[in-house]
């Protein structure tokens, strides 16, 4: 099932959709986001 969804996303990107506009449906825990902010800043 995941391969079909991935294939659909790749197809849309190949047709001109921006990858940044595609939601992956992944939830990132708040603690991880805080750590990432510290690394980026």
pLDDT tens digits, 6-30: 888 889 889 998 877 767 777 888 8
pTM higher than 0.85: no
Residue 5: the pLDDT is 81
Check residues 35 and 38 and name the one with the higher pLDDT.
35
For residue 30, CA distances in Å to 24, 26, 36, 39 come to 17, 13, 10, 14
Give the pLDDT band of residue 39 (cuts 50, 70, 90). Answer: low
- What DSSP character marks residue 28? P
Instruction: Give how many domains the chain has, as a whole number.
Output: 1
Name the residue with tokens 């849309």: 12
Residue 30 and residue 16: Cα distance in Å, rounded? 32
Residue 22 and residue 13: Cα distance in Å, rounded? 9
**What's phi and psi for 30, nearest 5 deg?**
-55, -40
Which uninterrupted H or E stretch holds 12? helix 2-14
């Amino acid at each position: 099932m995941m391969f079909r969804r991935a294939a659909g996303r790749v197809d849309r990107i190949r047709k001109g959709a921006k990858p940044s506009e595609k939601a992956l449906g992944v939830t990132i825990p708040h603690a991880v986001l805080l750590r990432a902010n510290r690394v980026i800043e």
